[in-house]
Structure 1
Amino acid sequence: MISKSLKAVFVCSIVLFSSCKDDKNSEEKMTTNTSDNILLQKWTGPYEGVPAFDKMNVKDLKEAIETGMTLGLEDIDAIANNTEAATFENTIVPLEASAKELNDVFTYYGIFSSNMSSPEFRDIQGELAPKLSDYNSKISQNEKLFQRVKAVYDASQKNPLPTDQQRVVDLTYKGFEMNGANLNAEQKKRYAAINKELSSLYTDFSNNVLHDEENYVTYLNKNQLGGLSESFIKSAAKIATDKGQDGKYAITNSRSSMDPFLTYSTERDLRKIVWTNYYARGDNGDDYDNNQIIAEILKLRKERVGLMGYDNFAEWRLQDRMAKTPENAMDLMMAVWPAAIARVGEEVADMQTVANANGDKLKIEPWDYRYYAEKVRQKKYDLDSDEVKQYLQLDKLTEAMFYVAGRLFNYKFTPIEDQKVPVFHEDVKVWEVTDKDSGKHIGLWYLDPYAREGKRSGAWATTYRSYTSYQGETNVLASNNSNFVKPAPGESVLVSWDDATTFFHEFGHALHFFSSNVKYPTLNGGVRDYTEFQSQLLERWLSTDEVINQFLVHHETGEPIPASLVEKIKKASTFNQGFGTTEYLASALMDMKLHLADPTNIDIDKFERETLAELKMPSELPMRHRTPQFGHVFSGEGYATAYYGYMWADVLTSDASEAFKEAPGGFYDKEVADKLVKYLFAPRNSMDPAEAYRLFRGREAKIEALMRDRGFPVPTEN
């Protein structure tokens, strides 16, 4: 998942609809002295300058953001008040370069928000949210600015600009239009007020989820560790000790802790407690409950797009996505849904058979699913996930990703000593990325792998600086962030196959950042139902023979993974696809249906229950993200009515994978790899995604490949 930090939401001058502007701004600014605040100072040091993560202090944040907004508005005023006729060079280019200081501050803001949150930061975040909303409105509703953008756009419709410039103009104008630039004065006032209110609601939603993640910890005694691996037990003991509970074992309220516990713990009552804590985040009927917040968000979103004549939020949002309409997105999801829930029925029947054979007198419940699925895996495929885990070391997986990047992109990753590049936490490591042949510097890759208090859950990728060339080439500063449980001293970090897949997925985002060859910042943006495609595709290289044979070695003996175990893994590749597909699709369908519904007097809890009943959602598993904790959709707008995009992207992924399978060199075929980089990674958003895919594949993607991948029945053509 691409980072949803507020940098991605607020930083840019035309922030509601453009990509972040990470580039140099040469204009002199006279009003404010920025030298005293470290967060506003120019990035210095090697590698074209890097963020001063070692010196950042949350106390400097409020002043830095407010100063950055002042300077950003100076940039906008200079563009808007230019008396010369509007051109690409005097309007669009300075708009692309605007708000440099604020962009840089939001690099730090993103770290405080996602990686190093604290009560002090959350107070500042709450105070700044409405001010940032006002800032955005002053830009998106600046009539003089919009008229200059419109003049450039109108002229380009008669006399088209060079391809990349035309794409920037089209995206910029469309962004203004989608965000109310054509509204009258009264409507604009209400539009701005709605955005201001939403900004505070998004912050409250996120902080409520984080509160429940931090405060619901399950402590175990020594006699409650049945089924758990030695490495997991050691990690749980360390976490408990760090939390002042020496002699106990902590199961934190995060997926990285919850998932293995539910898979292996023999303590059913404790499994229920851990499951309930995790899936009740934001839904505990207390001061941190998110249901009313969600209801207000839905009402405000509908009202806002209604000002522009749209029937619902989904209709407005999807017009510039690959799906184009909510109906197209729903058609794809509902084409897969029946096969997914049918497979769940088969999986549950297999689990119940195992439970009955064991003499376990129970009906499979959600907190049993992972546990008995693992039993079925062992019985059906003689495959023990914990056995596989012994060969999945985080360090070796990192080397495997570097190997893949070298084969496909010709990149070399070289570790950097800590003192050369500042980091915000001792766990963060940094590598230099160069071209293997020429030695050309491409950028830096930061890795923050471990869960900790104050770090949001999940895994994500983000950039601190993106590639552009319109003011001279810039390097890329990209990061991957995970929540692996930190091991006890001297122990290896062992991860599940699913977590290893996610690790590759997020690295795919980083490679997308590094491979960019676009000239202008706006073209580094993305179409949401396309940007997950590149990262989902990279997951496929984890199971290639080259990676398995070289990098999957036993963490104690160093012995390579046995061929017999590899064969079991491949045979079980479609195992549990009912669970994986259904828990995801349920969330995606809920996202869309919530935004198509009438939000007047909506009861979120009731709507969730009734919608799942209508979908015939199996009772044995929950949505991947229940509504009260669905941060993708309600902590901001990046994935709102867009969570379906993972499925849309996976159609492309499955189809593109078959292009590699069909090639002489398989997944490392040079000709196909070169086309992959040229058409699907390097262009970013400089061309229409559908056209980019056709150039790569020679045709549009087909759903049949996805169904084959998941072991579902392939639909027959009429």
Structure 2
Amino acid sequence: MTNPLLQDWATPFQIAPFDVISDADFAPALDTALAAHRSEIDAIATCDEAPSFANTIEALEAAGADLDKVLSVFFTVAGADSNPTREDLQRQFSPILAAHFSEISSNKALFSRVNALWETRETLGLGPEQDRVLMLTHRGFVRAGAALTGAEDARMKEIKARLAVLGTEFTQNLLADERAWFMPLAEDDLEGLPEFVVDTARAAGDEKGADGPVVTLSRSLIVPFLQFSPRRDLRKTAFEAWVARGANGGQTDNRAIAAEILSLRQERAKLLGYESFADFKLETEMAKTPAAVRDLLMSVWEPARAQADADAARLAEMMRKDGINDDLAPWDWRYYAEKRRAAEHDLDEAELKPYFQLDRMIAASFACAQRLFGLQFKPLDIPLYHPDCRAWEVTRNGEHIAVFIGDYFARGSKRSGAWCSAMRSQAKFPKPQAPIVINVCNFAKGDPALLSYDDARTLFHEFGHALHQMLSDVTYESISGTSVARDFVELPSQLYEHWLDVPEVLSEFAVHAETGAPIPPDMLQKVLDASTFDMGFQTVEYVASALVDLAFHDGPAPADPMDKQREVLDAIGMPPAITMRHATPHFAHVFAGDGYSSGYYSYMWSEVMDADAFAAFEEAGGAFDPERASALERHILSTGGSSDAAELYIAFRGRLPGVDALLKGRGLAAE
């Protein structure tokens, strides 16, 4: 029988036929696809004709179609619906894929052709997009080590292969720790918890096969438990398990893995002629240098820490009034911050949450996209990789634009966090293809499913990434959608979060799950007034993580990353009642792959732009100003990586922004 992964998919919009694909199909399909890709690369490298943009660069763009199909399906299910077989396959595939792509990037004959085009680029008559693709292709080969020879070339291949293995191990260890731990709750332990937390804990118990409710390490459960449980002992137990992920000793401990990853990255950078991995990594980003990143982070750190210290004093006083004669601890912060929020803003999350139904928030994100960009969303009834998933066809003026898939609920087979990926990216070459985009979240199940305000923000954030993919309008897949500088990629996602705070959006879509009544105006105002509440805490836990990430990569690799983490936190004066958002052993952004390594700062870099970009709407005709929406699509959402990120932002806004809008938006600006 023909492997379904390698067939032409006669499905709606050529979506992978998940109902006929089995785990047994992946390995043979990968072998076949790798062999086909190898042959295509060899044909390009040994072509008798003189190098041209068509027979070299475009040929590279067109190569590997079957490999893309296999990997897009595999990595979708490996991240969102894993099982022991898929985890084993991931461990097998990582070194194979690393070796395959390393072989391509170190192919001297192939690089010679690319380099010849680069050196004669001014004579080729290329258009702007072609010129950009040539530059990125040449730069990618050089940064991958294509110019290395002999022992250095061989060592680079070894480093890449080992890093691929280590990244997979780090991810799987983290997933194993998250899956293994849960804390049973007796009926007395539920005292003080809102009904939605109790319901979520009972559902989690059912999923774990426990005899009653449990707390798991899913953020959508553990955070509200820490917010609402009056039991300090249980909060401490849960919090310590949460921050210990990847650092529990034994086979799933990630500390030695992190140290080896950092050492190999530094060696890789040295082989390529850079002083540090941060110098290497940031060269292609908007920030350009470690110093620029540190300047941004420290300009935000000082006012954030001052706010957090002031807030800590308030919370400690509240704790003493409860008769607890102890220092404010990290497992206390969320509980007393929630009590303070309820008192100062008269805002009770248990009363608020019924207004944030998942389905209504999905509808809100769609409605904003319709008003801004003219997109329409029609549900699709098609087989997907898990029963929780749902799909929509995205159209504009009757024309098919994309397929959007949402996978929203937490489960043991899904890694933590939230993300957006494209099973197929938009392109016009070698033939037109519309994108298939997935948002994956980890919200608590319920009937109906209710979100916290932060959950709703996450939904809008990931949908902003999806819009970047869906509205892409470029020729070549290598620069499509979110294929942009890492510190630019978060701009569309963080910018889209602002539409959740637009009063007319909440007035229409935040309706009570039981009564159907719209959110009362006074409650809506309280939500908006509280939007910067506890921002000192949120900023400190994020910036601390970003500074540690930068320190790991800016200079010699630390022998013991945990010692380096402590050194950095001590140097910046980390408040004792706040921890890093992502401590080293579970810092998947940095250690699961190279994506955000030396780049976790990029959320804040992008936030500088997103605060300024939304201000452009407010300065014009408001949140739905058609001219600003058109400019946003024309200059940012549709352009992918076809131009330098700074040039794209300037084209939209007329200038680059400063940090003032960010500080104001976070409520950290001096009065």
Question: The TM-score by the shorter chain falls in which range?
Answer: over 0.9
What pairs with 1:507-526 in structure 2 (closer than 5 Å)? Answer: 507-524=463-480, 525-526=483-484
Alignment: residue pair count:
669
Partner of 2:494: 536
* Contact 1:704/1:714 (<8 A) preserved: no
Partner of 2:120, secondary structure, is: helix
Distance in 2 of aligned mates of 1:295 and 1:609: 15
Distance in 2 of aligned mates of 1:669 and 1:636: 39
Partner of 2:623, secondary structure, is: helix
For residues 666-713 of structure 1, what are the alpha-carbon distances to aligned partners after superposition, in whole Å with 9 as ceiling and x for unaligned?
000111111111111110111111111111111111111011111113
Distance in 1 of aligned mates of 2:298 and 2:43: 50
Among 11, 35, 40, the residue aligned to 2:6: 40
Distance in 1 of aligned mates of 2:83 and 2:550: 33
* Contact 1:351/1:375 (<8 A) preserved: no
Partner of 1:396: 360
For residues 632-662 of structure 1, what are the alpha-carbon distances to aligned partners after superposition, in whole Å with 9 as ceiling and x for unaligned?
1101101100110000000001111111111
Partner of 2:223: 259
Among 333, 349, 356, the residue aligned to 1:385: 349
Give the deviation of 1:357 after TM superposition. 3.0
* Contact 2:33/2:66 (<8 A) preserved: yes
For residues 389-447 of structure 1, what are the alpha-carbon distances to aligned partners after superposition, in whole Å with 9 as ceiling and x for unaligned?
12100000010001000011110001112xxx220111111111000xx2101111101
Among 392, 402, 409, the residue aligned to 1:431: 392
TM-score, structure 1 normalization: 0.92
The question of 1:56 aligning with 2:37 is answered no
Among 155, 159, 169, the residue aligned to 1:190: 155
Among 120, 129, 139, the residue aligned to 1:164: 129
Which residue identity is paired with 2:219?
R
For residues 444-502 of structure 1, what are the alpha-carbon distances to aligned partners after superposition, in whole Å with 9 as ceiling and x for unaligned?
11011111111000110111111111233211110111111112xxx211111111101
Distance in 2 of aligned mates of 1:57 and 1:350: 56
Partner of 1:479, secondary structure, is: strand
For residues 297-325 of structure 1, what are the alpha-carbon distances to aligned partners after superposition, in whole Å with 9 as ceiling and x for unaligned?
11111111111111110100111100011
Give the deviation of 1:361 after TM superposition. 3.1
Distance in 1 of aligned mates of 2:616 and 2:255: 45
Give the deviation of 1:386 after TM superposition. 2.2
What pairs with 1:93-104 in structure 2 (closer than 5 Å)? Answer: 93-104=58-69
The question of 1:588 aligning with 2:546 is answered yes
Distance in 1 of aligned mates of 2:93 and 2:531: 47
Partner of 2:269, secondary structure, is: helix
Partner of 2:299: 335
Among 643, 646, 649, the residue aligned to 1:693: 649
For residues 548-576 of structure 1, what are the alpha-carbon distances to aligned partners after superposition, in whole Å with 9 as ceiling and x for unaligned?
11000111111110111111112222111
Distance in 2 of aligned mates of 1:286 and 1:607: 22
Partner of 1:707: 663
Partner of 2:602: 645
* Contact 1:56/1:108 (<8 A) preserved: no
Give the deviation of 1:158 after TM superposition. 4.6
Distance in 2 of aligned mates of 1:426 and 1:285: 35
Which residue identity is paired with 2:129?
D
Give the deviation of 1:159 after TM superposition. 4.8
Partner of 1:127, secondary structure, is: helix
* Contact 2:547/2:568 (<8 A) preserved: no
For residues 3-56 of structure 1, what are the alpha-carbon distances to aligned partners after superposition, in whole Å with 9 as ceiling and x for unaligned?
xxxxxxxxxxxxxxxxxxxxxxxxxxxxxxxx6222222222222x11011222
* Contact 2:376/2:395 (<8 A) preserved: yes
Give the deviation of 1:238 after TM superposition. 2.6
Partner of 1:7: none
Among 447, 458, 469, the residue aligned to 2:428: 469
Give the deviation of 1:217 after TM superposition. 0.8
Tell me how large the CA RMSD over aligned residues is. 1.3
Distance in 2 of aligned mates of 1:300 and 1:472: 39
The question of 1:547 aligning with 2:547 is answered no
Give the deviation of 1:66 after TM superposition. 1.9
Give the deviation of 1:67 after TM superposition. 1.6
Give the deviation of 1:523 after TM superposition. 1.2
Give 1 or 2: higher helix fraction: 2
* Contact 1:58/1:112 (<8 A) preserved: no
Partner of 1:440: 399
* Contact 2:420/2:466 (<8 A) preserved: yes
Distance in 1 of aligned mates of 2:390 and 2:380: 8
For residues 504-561 of structure 1, what are the alpha-carbon distances to aligned partners after superposition, in whole Å with 9 as ceiling and x for unaligned?
0000000111100001111111110001011000000001022111000111111110
* Contact 2:472/2:640 (<8 A) preserved: yes
The question of 1:576 aligning with 2:534 is answered yes
Identity level (%)? 41
Distance in 2 of aligned mates of 1:394 and 1:241: 21
* Contact 2:76/2:423 (<8 A) preserved: no
Distance in 2 of aligned mates of 1:241 and 1:171: 50
Partner of 2:94, secondary structure, is: helix
Distance in 2 of aligned mates of 1:562 and 1:151: 66
TM-score, structure 2 normalization: 0.98
What pairs with 1:208-219 in structure 2 (closer than 5 Å)? Answer: 208-219=173-184
Which residue identity is paired with 1:321?
E
Distance in 2 of aligned mates of 1:442 and 1:384: 41
